[in-house]
Each structure stands twice: as C-alpha cells, then as structure tokens.
Chains A and B, each alone.
Chain A
Amino acid sequence: MKKLSLAIASLLLVLAALLTVPAGSAFAQTIEETIAKFATDRFPDTTRGVEEITRSGHPTALAIVEALGDNRLAYRRADRRVFVIGTDDKIRSAETGAVETDVDIDDLRRVRINNPIRQTIAAALGALRLGSSDPGQRRAAAEAIMQAREADQAPALEAALGREKDARVATAITQALAALRIVDTKQPESVRLAAIDTLADRGDREALVMLRSLPADAPAAIKQRAERAAAGVERHLSILSGVQNIFFGLSLGSVLLLAAIGLAITFGVMGIINMAHGEMVMLGAYTTFIVQEFLRANAPGLFDWSLLFALPLAFLVSGGVGIAIERTVIRFLYGRPLETLLATWGVSLALQQAVRTIFGSSNREVGNPAFMTGSFDLFGIALTWSRLWIVVFTVVVFACLLFVIRYTDYGLRMRAVVQNRAMAGSVGIRTNWIDALTFGLGSGIAGIAGVALSQIDNVSPNLGQGYIIDSFMVVVFGGVGSLWGTLVAALTLGIANKLLEPLAGAVLGKILILVFIILFIQKRPRGLFAQKGRTAES
C-alpha cells in the first residue's frame, strides 16, 4: 500500500516537473498538517515533515527544505505557524511563500536539525531538484539520491534519465540508478550485474561504499561480481594513494620550507642563531587576523582578498620588528653567534608574552577565503586548495628571494658583506645597514610565512614554537648558508615524513626523520650543500 502511494507520489512529482502545473491541490487538505510538523521542533516530527513535504510536491517544498537545511526555517511559539527566513532576511509564510511583513523575527525560533535529518534533507533536495533547470543542480541531485540510496526515488530517476540531455548529468543519474538497483531485489539479476559494472566504472570511494554494502542475502553471483569490482576499485585507489602521499609530502615540505626560508637568511646567511624566528612567523599570522577583523567589520565584500592585503602588511610588521631587534640587540653581537642565541631567546619570550597580553592566549580565528577552502579532484587524487595554494605560494616566495639576492643591487651588497665584511666596508658599503636590512628581510619573509600558516594552523601565541625546531633542522640539514640546500632539505624531509607516516605512524615517523638527520650530519658535517666562505661557525 505504502509502496503504491509512494509510486503515485513520485509519478505526480514527475508530472509536476514535466507540465509545471501546481499539483499541490491533490494534498491540499494535509499540507497544513505537514508543515505544522516543523513547529513541534522535535526531530522525529521534523524528519517526517521533510519526507511528506517532499512527496507533496507543494510549490514551496523546495524552499522549505532548503531553508531547514541551512537553519532558516523558523516557527512562532504563539501560534505554531512556520516561516521561511529568506537569504534576503525577508520572512515568508511556509505555506504560501508570500512575504509576511508583520512578523517580528524575535518571536521566531529556528527549527533545529541533526545529522540524521541532514541526510533526509539531502535526499529530499535530490528528489526536488531532479527537475531543476540547472544541470549542475540536477547532477548534484543525482549524487544526493545516490548517497541517500532512497529506493523509492528509482522511478523519478528513470523518468529524469529519459528526458536528460546533458551527458554528464545522465551518467550521474545512471550511477545513482545503479546504486539503487544493486540492492533492489525486485530487479532481474542481469540488471543488477550491469549496475555493478556501472559503479565499477565510476571507481571512486563512493562506488566502493555502494559495492561493499550489499545485503547479506544477495545472490552469490552478484556478491562475487561486486567483490571483484570492489577489489578492482580498491587497487585503483591504492595506486592513487601513493601519488597522494607524494602530494602530501610536497605540501608538508613547502610548509617546512616556508617556515625555514626566513631562517635560512637570518641564521644561514647572517649566522645569527635566531630563536625569535618562530615569533616572526607568529606576528605574520596575527597580522592576518587583524586584517581579517578589520575587513569583517568594514568591508565584508573584500574578505576573500584579505590575504592579499595581509601579505605586504605582515612583511612590513615582521620585517620592521626584525630591524628593530637587529638595531637594538643583535648588532652588538656580531661574531658571537652563540650569544645571539641567548638574546633572541629572550626576545622570543618577550614577544610571546606581548602577543598574549594584547590578543589573549586563546586561538584567534583566521578564516579561509573562498579560493582556499575545499578540495578538488584530479584524476581521483583529492587536492585541498589551501595546501595547493601554499605550495604555489612557497615557490613564488622562494623565487622572489633568489631574484632579490642574485640580481638586485641590494643582493649584491648583501653577498659582499657576507663574504667579507671588512672589504665590503672599505669599498663604501654601509655594512651595518645591510645587516639591518638583511635581518629585516629574513624576518619579513617569516611574517609572510605566518600569513600562509594561519590558513592551516592555530593562530595562538605558541604558533612559532611549533616551527622553530623543524626550521633549524631544515636549514642545518640543507647546509647553512645555502638557499637551494634549504629548498631540497625541506622537500626531502616533507616527502620522507609523509611516506613514513602511513607505515610507522606520525610519532615514530618524526623520530625516524630526526635520527636520519643526526646520522646524515655525521656523514656530511656541513649539510647537504656545504658552503664555502663564511658560515655560521662558532
């Protein structure tokens, strides 16, 4: 009986979709009751409400379900009437969709949902959007139905498939149908086997789920075929995961590089054991935080550009602080590298405490702009945008730095000072300013790193402490004073770490890496790219 009514319901739904005639009337007498279910704000009722409104094909159904999904469906305690709060903050009646001007938003309580309901909603949206005019939506709908595996959507899908023009949407629908059919005992075996192949072709984790979740009582033939298909999919996935690990390693490596690159200058080139390096990174992250706060308050539209504003500012802030430190402390310590360790350690303590006093010691929220959120699929490898951008960004920073040092007048003077301070001085280079600028440059780059790291890590006073040791390892492993060494070292360590992690686990992996560095230094006491000339010698 129920099955039948479902069939009719979906049939009507299809009709509604086809000849856009409001079919609401058929359920007219029950629609109020249905909508009233949302007003009890009890999860079971809400669930039923969603299911019924979906079947009802009521014109506002889509609006209601969407609103419920993103927490815009509300009801008035007094008379239990249900309203949709539009994305435009207009309040509309749930039944009619007409704008209600006399409703005070403060009288409304939003209808709560939980994960089970979210699943129902996803499925419902699938059903409702299948008739949408936007192919993207239709495709999403098919996906949703596939994941929800609502058996009673099969007819709707078939109908949709019948009239579908867009090839990609069509495949999506076929796959969704397949997902329903492999478990559909009423289907002939041939159809179910075909369904299995369809999913096998899809060959991603979703398909794997479908293939793996056959009911225990499924016929042997189907089970076998499904198992073989699943195995095939898994083989495919495991190959991908190898590639994936490399990307993870690359991304970790670039994070290490980003954190270490500034140190490669202050420590590697200038020979200052700069314990405050981590704090420079932290300052950069906090600069990002301030910029975003400012934009949130004054120009929300520009939020997605916040990082672009943050970068130069972070460079200036950290660089400025760096120069200040160099002028007030470090310049008295040249030629005494170990003393710089102590002084900068003091500086780092002070900076941490300063930030703690100003911003408080808890994490600050730094949001990801749209272009850095989510991930995309590249031949089955999931790449997260934030990571990808950081890799790109790191490359750019590194390139710029190389350029500055190789080809600019400043770079020339800097190298001169590094190689022979006295000589450089005697040919009229103002060595002390070069020193200040160089330290500023290193710190500034650390600041830029902070902007990037704020996207993937805590923004807290301890941010820097998490990176300082690794940074030193990278610079030393790569060979003090060699930027290329730093690059190679960072990437090597990153990838090695990520290849080890699945085998040894995160903790042991890190330990192994450290042991490797220790042993490596025995073999090459000057690191990967040993430098001639002045290095950070004690």
Chain B
Amino acid sequence: MIVQRLAGRLGISEIAFIAAVAGLAVLVPLANLTMPEGSLLHVSNATVVLFGKWMCYALLALSLDLVWGYCGILSLGHGAFFALGGYAMGMYLMRTIGTRGVYGNAILPDFMVFLNWKELPYTWYFFDWFGYSALMAMLVPGALAFVLGWFAFRSRVTGVYLSIITQAVTYALQLAFFRNDMGFGGNNGLTDFKDILGFQVQAQTTRATLFALSALALLGGFAAAKAIVSSKLGLVLIAIRDAETRTRFIGYRVEHYKLFVFVVSAVMAGIAGALYVPQVGIINPSEFSPANSIEAVIWVAVGGRGTLIGAALGAVLVNAAKTWLTAAIPTVWLFALGALFILVTLFLPRGIVGTFGSKLFGHRWSK
C-alpha cells in the first residue's frame, strides 16, 4: 500500500535513481562474480568495495538530508550515529573471530588480551549473536538520538545551538572511544575481522553480497524517507523548517515531529555504519570526529538539500572526487576539494540536483 502510494508521487529523476541503484545492486555483483577477469564487463573487487563504501555514505547523507533538508535540523553530529552502528557491527565481527585471534583467546578480542584484560566487559555481552548486534546497530543510535532530541527539542534548542551541541556530542564520544579504558580498542579501534555469519569477509562473494545489501539498504532508506516526506507528516516537517512558531500555533507539537524524524534518521545512519564496517574492515574513533560529520553535511549540500536523491548523489560525487584526486594530484587535492565546496555554495546554492534537477526533470525540489 505504501508502495503504490509512493509510486504516484515519484518524479522522473527519482524513478531513474531507483532504477540506477537497483541496477547496480544486481549488475555489479554479477559482473564481479560471473565475468572473467580481464573481460570488458568485469568489475574488480576494488571497485566493488569502493562502491559499497559509497552506498553507505549515500545512506548516511540521505538520513542527514531527512532532518536537515526537510526539518531544518542541522546535525553536525550525524557521524556519531553512523559510527555507533559501525561499532555495534564491529563488536559482532570481533566476537566471531573467537580463537582465531593471534592469542587464540576464545572470549577476549586481541586488544584486550595484550592490554591484559581479565574478563569481557559487560558492554560486550551478547555481541556474539548477529541478531542482537544488528538490533543494537539500530537501537543504540536511535536511543542516543531519542535522549538527545527529547531534551533538546523540548527545551527548544534550535538552529546553530542545536548544531553545536550535536557536534559536542560526537566530539565527546570520539574522546570517550579514544580512551582504552572504555574497552572499545582505543585509537586502533576494531580490525582484523575474519567472517560474518560464517562467510569470510575477505571473500569475493561476501563482498559482492555486502555491496548488494548496501545498495538495497540505500533503496530502503530512500523509500522510507520518500514515504515520510511525501506524507502529510512531510508537509508538517517542511512547515516546521520554514515557520516553526506558526506550526505550533496551528496546533502541531513541533518537538514530537522533530524527535520522530531525528530518531528515524539516526537509525538509518546506524544501519549505514553497520554495513560500512565489514566492507572497509575497520572502525575507530576517528569516525566520530566532527570533521567527518561536517563532511557529510557538505555531501548533502553539494547534492542538494531537500532533495533525497541529491543527498545520495552528493555523497557519491564528493567521495568519487576524493578517491580520484587523492591519487591523481595527491599533493594539492585539498585545493580542488576546497574550491569545489566554495563554488557549489556560491553558484549552486540548492545543490546540483536542486538546481539542475528541476530543469532537467521538472523535479519539485522542496517537496
């Protein structure tokens, strides 16, 4: 039912987007697994991993756009939700290493062994069950968002004040996870994963599957976000973004709406993180660093805030640029990236899709 309700509301660009992502989700793994290496159609493992990473970033950007683009909540701490999801998954991957760690300790991860921990901290209990870990990957970011939002929105912390406290949250978490006493591996974080649900993380098929899953997650996230923004609730969100007090006087309890969308978005970010970790093979506190969260904001801005596909595209474009530039012009690439950000804000204030999207596909950017 949701589906058909959506179908009616999709612009051409969005249909194209869905088709593209779905296509990738199917074709890339196929081309990677079935095509012989060296054939024109073959997609290298490196490419699969890279694309997988971008899909996760895209989902993160999407979740950020949901709160920022549609509800005017600029979160400078969305990286925190992403990282928490990642850690939840990372902890599962650590636990499943079992006796294959260098010290062959069945219970304790390696870093605990050589830092001479005696028993497993309670925070690590149950993370050997995939189900539990997957649940936590969504629950923990959700819960954090709920608590933070509950207080912040009720006491009407808005605008830049909200942005800064979200930044404070992610910064505090970064420092906390740096502390080895926290028992999350300190600066080295969690690495050296062996397998996930019995499949080798390094294996080509696992990679392909993870990529496909990431792509599907992106589609799922898109569908959810689209469902929200195109419902009447979506109207309320934009109303809040444009005239918060007015919305109150019509009788909408603004804080509840913000809380709802903030939590949904955090959960999406958490899922993105959980899919990200097994593909890049490491999670460490620098994922919490404020700079990362700001970058995510920039992806959204580049792609076009308030346009879901824009957010996703922005994430992919910026990261593709990064991947290319850091290899092509390693010593000066920051100039290029910096210039890109400046130019986009100056000349494409509504982002790439926001500006061209409407021209090309008659896409209504603010809806």
- Does B associate with A? yes
Task: Give A residues with C-beta under 8 Å from B.
Answer: 273, 275, 329, 332-333, 336-339, 341-343, 345-350, 352-354, 357, 465, 469, 472-473, 476, 480, 507-508, 510-511, 514-515, 517-518, 521-523, 525-527, 536-538
Q: How far is the CB of A537 from chain B (nearest CB, A)?
A: 5
Which of B155, B158, B338, B346 is in CB contact (< 8 Å) with A353? B338
- Given A522-B157, A525-B155, A538-B72; A349-B337 close (CB under 8 Å): yes
A346 touches B345 (CB 8 A): yes
Which of A339, A357, A522, A523 is in CB contact (< 8 Å) with B349? A339
- Tell yes or no: B83 within 8 A of A by CB: no
Q: How far is the CB of A523 from chain B (nearest CB, A)?
A: 7
Q: How far is the CB of A181 from chain B (nearest CB, A)?
A: 47
Sample (9) of A-B pairs whose CB atoms are under 8 Å apart: A329-B342, A333-B346, A342-B344, A350-B334, A353-B334, A508-B179, A514-B171, A518-B172, A521-B157
Which of B152, B167, B338, B346 is in CB contact (< 8 Å) with A472? B167
Residues of B within 8 A of A538 (CB): 72, 74, 158-160, 163
A349 touches B338 (CB 8 A): yes
Question: Which positions 322-346 of chain B face chain A at CB distance < 8 Å?
Answer: 331-332, 334-335, 337-342, 344-346
Extra 17 A-B pairs, beta carbons < 8 Å, given A345-B341, A354-B335:
A333-B346, A339-B345, A342-B301, A342-B344, A346-B338, A347-B342, A350-B339, A350-B342, A476-B161, A507-B175, A507-B178, A510-B175, A518-B168, A521-B157, A521-B165, A525-B161, A538-B158
Tell which of A273, A338, A523 has the most Cβ of chain B within 10 Å. A338
Closest 9 CB pairs of A and B: A346-B341, A350-B338, A538-B159, A349-B338, A353-B334, A514-B172, A346-B338, A346-B342, A343-B345
Q: How far is the CB of B117 from chain A (nearest CB, A)?
A: 19
Tell which of B152, B168, B179, B339 has the most Cβ of chain A within 10 Å. B168
B266-300: contact bitstring with A at CB < 8 Å (1 yes, 0 no)?
00000000000000000000000011001001100
Which of A275, A333, A353, A473 is in CB contact (< 8 Å) with B168? A473
Per the bound structure, the CA–CA distance linking A114 and B201 in Å amounts to 54
Which of B72, B164, B175, B335 is in CB contact (< 8 Å) with A476? B164
A346 touches B157 (CB 8 A): no
Per the bound structure, the CA–CA distance linking A515 and B151 in Å amounts to 13
A338 touches B179 (CB 8 A): no
Tell which of B72, B151, B338, B349 has the most Cβ of chain A within 10 Å. B338
Q: How far is the CB of B287 from chain A (nearest CB, A)?
A: 16
Q: Taking CB as reference atom, which chain B residue is nearest A536?
A: B160
B159 touches A346 (CB 8 A): no
A469 touches B331 (CB 8 A): no
A469 touches B339 (CB 8 A): no
Q: How far is the CB of A344 from chain B (nearest CB, A)?
A: 9
A342 touches B298 (CB 8 A): yes
A511 touches B155 (CB 8 A): no
Which of A345, A354, A476, A521 is in CB contact (< 8 Å) with B294? A345
Residues of A within 8 A of B176 (CB): 511
Task: Give B residues with C-beta under 8 Å from A.
Answer: 72, 74, 151-152, 155-161, 163-165, 167-169, 171-172, 175-176, 178-179, 290-291, 294, 297-298, 301, 331-332, 334-335, 337-342, 344-346, 349
Per the bound structure, the CA–CA distance linking A465 and B294 in Å amounts to 13
Q: Is the interface of A mostly helix, strand, loop or mixed?
A: helix
Which of A339, A346, A523 is in CB contact (< 8 Å) with B155? A523
A347 touches B159 (CB 8 A): no
Q: Taking CB as reference atom, which chain B residue is nearest A352?
A: B334
Per the bound structure, the CA–CA distance linking A343 and B339 in Å amounts to 9
- Given A521-B165, A522-B155, A525-B155; A343-B334 close (CB under 8 Å): no
- Given A342-B344, A353-B338, A472-B164; A536-B159 close (CB under 8 Å): yes
Q: How far is the CB of A518 from chain B (nearest CB, A)?
A: 5
Q: How far is the CB of B299 from chain A (nearest CB, A)?
A: 10
Tell which of B164, B331, B346 has the most Cβ of chain A within 10 Å. B164
Residues of B within 8 A of A473 (CB): 164, 168
Tell which of A329, A333, A337, A518 has the most Cβ of chain B within 10 Å. A518
B294 touches A341 (CB 8 A): yes
B340 touches A346 (CB 8 A): yes
Tell which of B157, B179, B290 has the most Cβ of chain A within 10 Å. B157
Residues of A within 8 A of B294 (CB): 275, 341, 345
Tell which of A342, A353, A508, A510 has the most Cβ of chain B within 10 Å. A342
B334 touches A349 (CB 8 A): yes
Per the bound structure, the CA–CA distance linking A332 and B332 in Å amounts to 26
Tell which of B156, B301, B335, B341 has the most Cβ of chain A within 10 Å. B341
Per the bound structure, the CA–CA distance linking A538 and B157 in Å amounts to 12
Per the bound structure, the CA–CA distance linking A518 and B168 in Å amounts to 7
Residues of A within 8 A of B332 (CB): 353, 357
- Given A338-B74, A517-B165; A273-B171 close (CB under 8 Å): no
Residues of B within 8 A of A341 (CB): 294, 297
Q: Taking CB as reference atom, which chain A residue is nearest B300?
A: A342
Q: Taking CB as reference atom, which chain B residue is nearest A510?
A: B175
Q: How far is the CB of A494 from chain B (nearest CB, A)?
A: 17
B335 touches A522 (CB 8 A): no
Per the bound structure, the CA–CA distance linking A339 and B345 in Å amounts to 6
Q: How far is the CB of A324 from chain B (nearest CB, A)?
A: 13
Residues of B within 8 A of A354 (CB): 335
A515 touches B172 (CB 8 A): yes
A517 touches B339 (CB 8 A): no
Q: How far is the CB of A520 from chain B (nearest CB, A)?
A: 9
Q: How far is the CB of B296 from chain A (nearest CB, A)?
A: 12
Q: Taking CB as reference atom, which chain A residue is nearest B344?
A: A342
Per the bound structure, the CA–CA distance linking A346 and B168 in Å amounts to 21
Residues of A within 8 A of B155 (CB): 522-523, 525
Residues of A within 8 A of B72 (CB): 538
Q: How far is the CB of A341 from chain B (nearest CB, A)?
A: 7
Per the bound structure, the CA–CA distance linking A341 and B291 in Å amounts to 12
Q: How far is the CB of B254 from chain A (nearest CB, A)?
A: 14
Residues of A within 8 A of B175 (CB): 507, 510-511, 514
Q: How far is the CB of B33 from chain A (nearest CB, A)?
A: 39
Per the bound structure, the CA–CA distance linking A329 and B74 in Å amounts to 21
